[in-house]
Structures are given as C-alpha cells and as structure tokens.
Chain A
Amino acid sequence: MKLTLKIWRQKNPNEKGAFVRYPVDDVDPEMSILECLDVLNETLILRGEVPVAFEHDCREGICGSCGFMINGVAHGPERATTACQLTMRHFKDGDEVVMEPWRAKAFPLVKDLVVNRRAFDHIIEAGGYVSVSTGQAPDGNTILVGKEIADQSMDAAACIGCGACVAACPNASAALFTGAKITHLGTLPQGEPERERRALSMVAQMNAETFGNCTNIGECTGACPKEIPLEVIATMNRDYVCASFSRREDLPTPVLPVATGA
C-alpha cells in the first residue's frame, strides 16, 4: 500500500514545531506502525535528513515506551493495542495517517513524537509501594489472598505507564494511572497498612505534577492499551476521602479533592 504519514516535527521544546507530510510506498499490511516509521527513517537518513524521533523499546506492548496520537487517538484505532503492536492492516491504500505526540502540560515535549513522562515516576515515588525492605518477608503462603482479590489487583497492576490515559483525557488527568497503582496495592492485604498514607501522598504528587482534574469522562480507559477499568479511579477517590477524614496526625495533609464527579 501507499500511505502518507503526516508527522509532528519539532527539534526541541524551544523551537516551533509543525506537521510534515511524508509519502511512504511499499507499506506491508503485516508491519507495525513503528516498523513503518523505521522504513521512513531509513529513507530519510539516506537522503541526509534527520529521522523522526519516537520512543520505543520492547515492541511487544509491555514496556510502555511507545505511544503517540494516531489520527487523533492515543495508540491508534485498535482496541487494547499499543502503537508497537498496531499493524498497518488497519489502514488502507491512500490513507493519510496523522501522528503527533502526547499533549499534556505534565509531559513536556522532548523532540518530534517524544515527550518526558518522568511525572509518572514521581507519583510512584511519592508512595506507590509497600514499605518492605529486602529480607523482611515472611513465607509467601502466610499471606493468603483470595483468587478474586488477586485477580482484581492484577487487573490494575497491568498498567504499563505509557501515558495514553493522560493524552486521551481532555483535562490531561493522571487519575487512571494513579488509581491503578492505588488499587493494585490497596486491594491486597500487603498494601493495607499504608493504604491511607499512599492515597494522600500519591494524589498530592499527582496534583503537584500539573496533571488536570478528573471529571469522569472515561476517555482514559477507552484509550488504555491494557484496559485498566475506570473503577480504579473510584477506588482512589474512596481511599483518598477516607484518608482525608481519618485526620491521623502522622498522615500527610490532604489537598483538594481529586474528582469533582465522584
């Protein structure tokens, strides 16, 4: 097939960016959209031009490196699929495919389709863990976890931290990402002791990173390549509200409520 790729090019955050159109011939329906960019980049390099920068690593939908808007949709048209696993079968001969980076204040642009997602690490750093140092653990089977609970926790833990939820949200909120970690850990008995502290700290950090507020639109879960359920946001809000009311002095001070709709 022959396609036109319309790609956002921007050398760095300080210079202005613009869309550039690139015709690509010989697109094989079996190739992934990243492989299609590879093919384009090979031609650009041989023409002495600077190739398109885009983030990628595992190319099997698990590391969360890749991701950009494809025809206005985070990771493109296919349900539960990262850009690296999106094959060109979903396009047809003559199509124009528009690619632009995640747009969010908390994800500043680095170059072309690459943005900086360190804000996600900061949210985890604020409390997205169980405080157990190496060597402190009891035998694995002394902590019993019912299958349904383990499954629920796993559903939330499947988040790959790609940022599609933020990019898809009209408010650029990170509620799905933050809620996923709060739910993953808070659902398990291991995460229970720090549940309140975790919710307060992570939500505070989320706000500090300049993500927008959640207004329960639900675009995030639709764009999520791992289909993290919207309930994780409700769980986050519940934990947060409970923690805010508990008024324990050792807990961080609550900030503004996260979701107006909850």
Chain B
Amino acid sequence: MTLDAKIPSGPIEQAWAQACFDMKLVNPANKRKHSLIVVGSGLAGGAAAASLGELGYKVKCFCFQDSPRRAHSIAAQGGINAAKNYPNDGESVFRLFYDTVKGGDFRAREANVYRLAQISGKIIDQCVAQGVPFAREYGGSLTNRSFGGAQVSRTFYARGQTGQQLLLGAYQALERQIHAGSVTMIPRTEMLDLIVVDGKARGIVARNVISGKLSVHIADAVILATGGYSNVYYLSTNAKGSNTTAIWRAYKRGALFANPCFTQIHPTCIPVSGDYQSKLTLMSESLRNDGRIWVPKKKGDTRLPNEIPEEERDYYLERRYPSFGNLVPRDVASRNAKAICDEGGGVGKSGLGVYLDFSEAIGRLGEKTVRERYGNLFEMYQRITDENPYKTAMRIYPAVHYTMGGLWVDYQLQSTIPGLFVLGEANFSDHGANRLGASALMQGLSDGYFIIPYTVGNYLATNKFAKVDESRAEVTEAVASVQQKTDKLLSIKGKRTVDSFHRELGKITWDYCGMARTAEGLEGAIGKIRALREEYWQNVTVPGSGDDLNESLEKAGRVADFFELAELMCIDARDRNESCGGHFREEYQTPEGEAQRDDEHYSYVAAWGYRGDGAPPELTKEPLEFNYVHPSQRSYK
C-alpha cells in the first residue's frame, strides 16, 4: 500500500487556499440531502457538528456522556495558541509553524502544521464572537501569555479553564443547531463499530448505555472526533471514560493507525498517593513560568523543603539547560524528573516526585500576584494534597497526558477508508512526536470549525451515495459482531474485575512503553500483554446484564480494545530505532542524554494496517519532507 497525503503542490503559504479552491462544492440546496455522523462532542466534534449544521447538512452527533458539554476538552486548563502577534513580540504564522514542527521533533507533516498556524488566528476571532470570556487587559484587549517554553506570548486563556470555556462555546453553537433542527444530538451512546459498504464508511453501530439497545446509523460520511487514548496506561490525566474504541474499531475495519507509540508525558501532575488511585490530576504547566523545580542534593533527605538551605538544593533543569531552565519542552522536563527519581533523588512518600517551588516567585512578585496567576491551581493542589503551596513547595511528577498518535489522515483529514474523517486528538496529524503546550485546543478547533466543513463537502460533491439498506450483509455483520462481543464479555464470569486487568495492563505499558523504552523491554512487554489479554478473555468478570446501565460492561469493551492497542504501541515503539520527542529509546541518546533522532532512516510516519487477529500488522511509511524547517538536533541548553 502507498499513502497519498494529498498535500497540494506549490508554496506552503498558498497550499490551503489552493486546496480550498480546488475542492468541489455542494450545491446549497443539496446540502440538506446529505447526512453526516459526527462521533464526539469535544472541541473537534462539537465544532464540526455545529459548523456542518450551520451549512445545512443533516448531522447526527454522538457522545457517551449525558451531555455534549462533558467531553474531556472541558479539562484543558492552560490555553490556546494563535499567531496573532498582539504583543508585538516577533510572533508570526511562520514562527508558530516553525516552533510546532521543531517542537514535534520533525515528525509532523509540514503542510498540515503550516495550515494550522494560518488558521489559528481565526479560531480566536470565532471564539471571542461566541462570547468566550478570554482574559483581558484593563484597556479591553485580549491578554496573552507565554506557555510551555515558547519565547513569544501567543497563548490566549480564560483563567485556568480555557478548555472549559472553549468547549462551552462550541457546545452552545451546537445547541443552537440542535434548536434549529440541523443537528440531532444522541448522548449516552457509544459507537462500537464502523459500517463500511463498498469500501466507503457509511455508518456506525452504537449502543445506548442506559437501555443497552444497539442501533444502526447510516450516513454519507462518518467523522470521528473521539479524543485520545492515554487511558491505555490506566493512570492518566484523561477522563475515566476516554477510550480508543471508536478509532480502534475503525482500524480493524481498514483505517491505518499512525505513530501509535507517540504519547506525551506531562511534567506537572500531582504524584500518585496510593493503590486506589483512579486518575492523575494535571496542573497547568504555566506553573513552570514562575515555579522552580528542584530536589535535595542529598538523596533521601527527609527534612521539609523549607528547611533545606539554598546551597543544598539541586535546581537540575536550570543547571542542565541554562537558557530554557524550567521552561524546557514537556518531554525534556518529564524525562529529567524520571531520571532523578530513578536514581533515588525523588521526594515524597513514594520517592516519585520533585519539588515545584514558588517561594522565590512570592518573594519577587508578592503573594497577591502569584495568587492572581495561579490561585485556582494552588487551591486544587491543596484540596487534593492538604498542603498549602504558598507555604511549602508543591510535589509534582510526570503523568501520561496526550496521544500524538491516532488514525492516519491525509491533508483533507480523511483516513484510508473513503468517507471516514478523523479530527482532533483522535487523528495523528499535526504534533509529530511531541505536542507543544496550548496546541491541541488549537488543532481540535481548527479541524472542526475550519477544515472539515470544506473537505467533507469536497468528498460529498465528488461521490455518489446509493441508499444503504439496514438488511445489507455489511450492516448485519457489524451488529452481530458487536452483540457477540458483548455476550462473550458477560458470559465469562471469571475471577478478576475489569479494573484489575486494566491496572495491570497500564503498568506494563507505563513501565515499558512510557517515558523510556528499550527494544528488549518492548519485546518482553508484547509477550506480557498477550498473556494478560488471553487471561482477560478467560477470567474477567462483568456483573449485571447488557440491557441496562452497566458501567462494568462499557469498561470491559474498552479495555478489550486497549489490550490490542497496547500491543500495537509496543510494536511501533520497537520498530522505531531512534529517539524522538516523547518516544525515548534508551539505546539512542546523545552523550548528554538527549534524544537522538535518526533522520536518515526514520523520517517517516509509521502507519499500521490491521491484517487479522494474531497476524502481525502491516507497516506503511509516509515519508516526511522538510522544505521549510530544516531538521536540527533540538537543543534547549
């Protein structure tokens, strides 16, 4: 198989405009004759469903929560990037593009990233017009801050709740379309399979989680915007319901899965406190703008942080990276924390933590300013840990946070199955091997508001859609396979709970396919995952029945998919014999311990195709070309 990314030829600055012009349009009077399915109501799906509804298409939008407003985009705190250059500090479309390609460690597609940077400004305009209460200056203009190591202030934010406010903007636009009758919202309904007819995506099989009823939905195209798969690690900053099921079923129906091993570990999370821990809580990395990270020089120092004198502290990021200091990219900050803790230098009960200290900032800026900037984060920290960050240093540890990998899509955001489009975190597109802070919100909204309305139109205008009868074999087969799986899970009645398997799977994935990886470890992990998966299908117990609200059953289906995904992640990680971004292979590092890329052999997107259960997946490579940003060794020294 060869992959055609359909990148427009010609200069990158004109690529998107050219592509838009080349696209065929759907006659306005015909739009309402086309039906579309959007799975997901987060920033990507919510924005897409609303915008497509506004254009006049007949849209059905699905989410598994009780309301579209609860999608996990709601939890994003820090902000959203845009190349507005309001602060007049040297920002430009090209700089945002450049930083994002470099931040992604040269494993993203240039044309996509350029388009993202071009569209970024319009996203802010749209959100402002919707009434998103972004932070403002006294004069009334929009405020920006620097975020995640960027040297310009390009991040827009709404207190520590940027994701919430952006999502509510999209949600309200969506509700407006629901009111207008162009969008039908179907909440509490989980997509469990994709229906492919004559090689095209034509519908989904979904299960209502309250009644347990399966239903078939047919449309002219299917848009997946189901978020990331960090929960494969069990503990992550994702919501409990975040899953891979929709994209995994699409993978098994023929869509390629790109760069599954590219996952991001966020450096500033609250450390694990016990075995019962059900999720990890992120604190915005804007904290690193003023907080200083350190550990005691003496290992196992049991004194309270305040009692440790300045000269006995190791501000290891400032020491190792004098020019970026505490603001090095996420992967670098996370890896350093892990390395320090692995050597026994960590703090806290478990030794898995480092200090993030605001005493210097409070001295410099005063408590009031610090409270204004970080008050809600400090409160959250105190609520969880019962410690007061104004008085004592916080403890932080890295946690899985974001998945750069996802279904492969071309420039039109179309997967390898015609008519199946993938948006937001669910696709692999724009972040390469490492996502920069405040760029996921930008990508989700760019995909949903400004790209899909064009590209899906082109697809509809250039294809013919015969009526799909629900009695067709492709449909009944998909329904039967979902039903079979549900029945099977309920019938095993083994001795272990779904969560106990999920925890164990998560631990394997974290230990071997987390922050640091080796070929040998990955090889072992694949064996362990397979063995555990086999046990799962013989020994899991799912209580209750399939015909009412049964969260264990929902989880059981998701974990079954996580097992398969975890294996693919390890295969991908083992195959990539280099270190890049969040993928750190211990065998490939510079003498200073930094990630060592191998551009000669690995400058490609690894897109995996399903070839049947048990058969090794097939690798197709999409070579990456860098004509504008020349690959260099990232250096934050």
Q: Which residues of A contact B (CB under 8 A)?
A: 11-12, 28, 30-32, 34-35, 38-39, 42, 44-46, 48-51, 53, 55-65, 78, 80-81, 85, 87, 89, 110-111, 114, 116-118, 120-121, 124-141, 143-147, 149-150, 153-154, 157-158, 160-161, 184-185, 188, 190-191
A249–B311 Cα distance when bound, in Å, is 75
- Which residues of the other chain, A, contact B543 by a CB distance below 8 angstroms? 44-45, 48-51
A53 to B124 CA separation, bound complex (whole angstroms)? 39
- Within 127-149 of B, Cβ neighbours of A (below 8 Å) are at 127-131, 133-142
Of B175, B187, B495, most A-chain CB atoms within 10 Å: B175
The number of chain B residues with a CB under 8 A from chain A is: 81
In the bound assembly, the distance between CA atoms of A55 and B64 in angstroms comes to 12
The docked-state distance in angstroms from the alpha carbon of A50 to that of B615 is: 37
Q: Are A140 and B65 in contact (CB under 8 A)?
A: no
Does B384 lie at the interface of the complex (its beta carbon under 8 Å from any beta carbon of A)?
yes
CB of B58 closer than 8 Å to a CB of A: no
Tell me if B368 is interfacial: C-beta within 8 Å of chain A.
no
Given contacts A63-B65, A64-B69, A154-B159, whether A190 and B130 have CB atoms under 8 Å apart is yes
Residues of B235-262 at the interface with A, using a CB-CB cut-off of 8 Å, are 239-241
30 residue pairs A–B, Cβ–Cβ below 8 Å:
A11-B548, A28-B276, A42-B497, A42-B499, A44-B543, A51-B543, A51-B552, A53-B549, A53-B551, A57-B65, A60-B380, A63-B74, A64-B67, A78-B383, A116-B66, A124-B171, A130-B129, A130-B131, A132-B130, A133-B51, A135-B450, A140-B125, A140-B128, A146-B138, A150-B136, A154-B159, A157-B133, A158-B159, A158-B161, A161-B69
Question: Does B361 sit within 8 A of A, measured CB to CB?
Answer: no
B residues with a Cβ closer than 8 A to A are 47, 50-51, 54, 65-70, 72, 74-75, 84, 86, 121-122, 124-131, 133-142, 158-159, 161, 164-165, 168, 171-173, 175-176, 178-179, 185, 187, 210, 239-241, 273-274, 276-279, 281-282, 379-380, 383-384, 386, 449-450, 453, 495, 497, 499-500, 541, 543-544, 548-549, 551-552
* A127 neighbours in B (Cβ, 8 Å): 179
- Beyond contacts A60-B380, A144-B140: 10 other A-B pairs, Cβ-Cβ < 8 A, are A11-B548, A35-B278, A118-B67, A134-B50, A141-B142, A145-B140, A150-B133, A150-B136, A157-B165, A190-B130
| Chain B positions within 8 Å of A120 at CB level | 67
- Write out the residue numbers on chain B whose beta carbons fall within 8 Å of the beta carbon of A89: 386
Given contacts A146-B140, A150-B133, A185-B131, A31 and B179 within 8 Å (CB-CB): no
The residue from A81, A147, A190 contacting B138, defined by CB atoms under 8 A apart: A147
Residues of A within 8 A of B544 (CB): 50-51
What is the CA–CA distance of A160 and B75 in the complex, to the nearest angstrom? 11
Distance of B381 from chain A, by nearest CB (Å): 11
Nearest Cβ in chain A — how far from B444, in angstroms? 14
Cβ contacts under 8 Å, A31 to chain B: 273-274, 276-277
Interchain CB contact (< 8 A) of A132 among B129, B141, B499: B129
CB closest residue in chain A, given B497? A45
Closest 8 CB pairs of A and B: A144-B140, A129-B172, A137-B129, A137-B125, A150-B136, A154-B133, A140-B128, A57-B239
Q: What residues of A have a CB within 8 angstroms of the CB of B279 in the complex? A: 59-60
In the assembly, what is the distance between CA of A191 and CA of B60, in Å?
28
Shortest Cβ distance from A65 into B: residue: B70
Contact A137 B175 (CB under 8 A): no
* Contact indicator B277/A134 (Cβ below 8 Å): no
Contacts of A131 on B, CB cut-off 8 Å?
Answer: 176
Q: Min CB distance, B165 to chain A, in Å?
A: 6
The CA-CA distance from A150 to B187 in the complex, in Å, is 32
Q: Given A45-B543, A53-B549, A87-B384, A129 and B175 touching (CB < 8 A)?
A: yes
A154-B129 contact given A34-B278, A42-B499, A145-B140, CB 8 Å threshold: no
A8 and B549 alpha carbons, distance in the complex (Å): 16
Residues of A within 8 A of B75 (CB): 58, 60, 62-63
Evaluate whether A134 and B449 lie within 8 angstroms (CB atoms) in the complex, with A48-B543, A128-B175, A191-B131 already known.
yes
- Docked pose: A46 CA to B543 CA in angstroms: 9
Contact flag A35-B277 (CB < 8 Å), given A129-B130, A144-B141 = yes
Known A-B contacts A58-B72, A130-B172, A184-B133; the reply to A140 vs B124 at CB < 8 A is yes
